[in-house]
Amino acid sequence: MTVNVPGRPMTANLARHGGADAHAGADAAQGEKPWSPGRERGPSPRQGDRLRPLSRRQVEDRFEDLGDLYEETCGGGTRAGTRSRADFLRRLAGDVRRPGFTLLIAENTTLTAFAYGFPVRGADPWWQGCDTRLPRTVRGLAVTGGLFAVSGIVVPARVRTHYQDRDWNLARRLQRRLLADHAPALGVTLLPATDTETLAAYRAWGWRDVVAEARDPRPPAGACRVLLLGR
C-alpha cells in the first residue's frame, strides 16, 4: 500500500442477496464457517456473496469493473481513499505484478466487494510513510517473510458500520480468506494516523495496533499506524 491515503467512503448500497443457503456449501468447501440462522436475526449479508480469487490475467481483464466499484464506494480500505479511479487502477496494475499477489472478489449477480494484497518484507518500499520504528517481533516477521500486506479492502459503506464483529461481515470474510490462502503469515496494513474513521472500522474487524518502539507516543505528522491481523 506506496502510500495511498484512505478517505471517507461514499454511501453505497449492497447488491441484493441470495437465499439463506445460496453459498453455504461453497463457503464450507473454502474453509469458511457456514452461517447459522440462529446467530443473527434476519438474513445474513454473507449469503448472496461468493468469494473467489482472480488470476492475474482475470484481474487485468476486469480492471474496469474493479475501478467502477472502487469509484462507487470511494475505496473504504487501506491506502485507497481519496485518490482518483485512474490512480487506483495504476497502483493496482503495479501491485498485481508482485510475487504472491492475490485478489479476492465477492459477487452474487454482480461484483459487490474485493480485497487484495501480497507478501511484504522489511526493506519493501511499501513501508514508505511508516515513520514509526517497528517492534522487534514485527521486524523479525518482515525479515522472514511472515507478513502479508492487505493493501486494499474495497467494500460498501455499510460493511464498515454494520455488524463488523460478525464472522459473516463481508470485510472479515475477505481478509480471513486472504490470510488463509497465505498461512501462516500474519496480515499487516498501514493506516494514516489521522484517519480515525478507517481505524475504527479495522479495529472492529479484528485488527490490532502495533505498539511502536518510540519515546514519543504521538505519531509524527503524516505517519502511518501499523496494524496486524491473525487468521
pLDDT, tens digit (0-9, with 9 covering 90-100), for 187-215: 999 888 788 888 889 999 999 988 655 54
pLDDT at 222: 57
For residue 219, name the pLDDT band (cuts at 50, 70, 90). low
End-to-end CA distance of the chain: 20
Instruction: Say whether pLDDT at 140 is over 70.
Output: yes
pLDDT of residue 9: 34
Residue percentage of the chain with pLDDT more than 90: 35
pLDDT at 46 over 60: no
Average pLDDT (174-184) is 92
Residue that has been written with the C-alpha cell 491515503 in this structure: 5
Distance between CA atoms of 71 and 222, rounded to whole angstroms? 24
pLDDT of amino acid 128 = 77
105 Cβ contact partners less than 8 Å away, ≥ 6 residues apart: 51, 52, 53, 54, 62, 111, 113, 114
pLDDT of residue 132: 63
Highest mean pLDDT among 33-37, 87-91, 116-120: 116-120
| 210 Cβ neighbours under 8 A, 6+ residues apart | 134, 135, 138, 225, 226, 227, 228
What pLDDT, on a 0 to 100 scale, did the predictor assign at position 203?
92
φ, ψ of residue 129 in degrees (nearest 5): 95, -10
